[in-house]
Amino acid sequence: MKAFLFIVLFAVAGAGSAFAQTKSGAQHLAQAQAPAASQKTGKSTGLIQQIDREKGAITIKHGPLQGLDMPAMTMSFPVKDKAMLTNLQPLQKVEFELAYDGRNYLVTKIK
């Protein structure tokens, strides 16, 4: 009987702490691991301002991104693959697609 009680208490405590972890970590988890459900994408055109081939980032003066609720602005984005930057140069007009995982933006297509 004592052993049984111990097991029950242990199970309850275990479940409780797992729940607490889930609750406190939920927001962080959602942002860091980006479940597909929260992934948003947008498309726009823009003018390349700067290219960082080392970092794999591109600064674009872009138009509004409707799917992402982003107005027109100039900002820098990381690109999915540095090779995407190979044939691009500053002042080139581009069409691009952007993904947002709830925390970070990523250029997934650019031409």
CB of 109 to Cu ion, least distance (A): 16
Is 58 within 8 Å of 51 (Cβ atoms)? yes
Query: Facing residues of 95 across strands?
Result: 45
Q: Which one, 85 or 105, has the nearer CB to Cu ion?
A: 105
Applying the rule CB under 5 A, the residues between 66 and 85 that interact with Cu ion are 70, 73, 75
Total residues contacting Cu ion (rule CB under 5 A)?
3
Measured from the CB of residue 6, what is the shortest distance to Cu ion in angstroms?
57
- Residue number closest to Cu ion, CB atom: 75
Query: Would you say 13 or 98 has its CB closer to Cu ion?
Result: 98
CB of 72 to Cu ion, least distance (A): 8
Residue 29 or 75 having the CB closest to Cu ion: 75
Nearer to Cu ion, 14 or 64 (CB): 64
| DSSP-assigned beta bridge partners for residue 65 | 70
Interface residues with Cu ion (CB under 5 A) are: 70, 73, 75
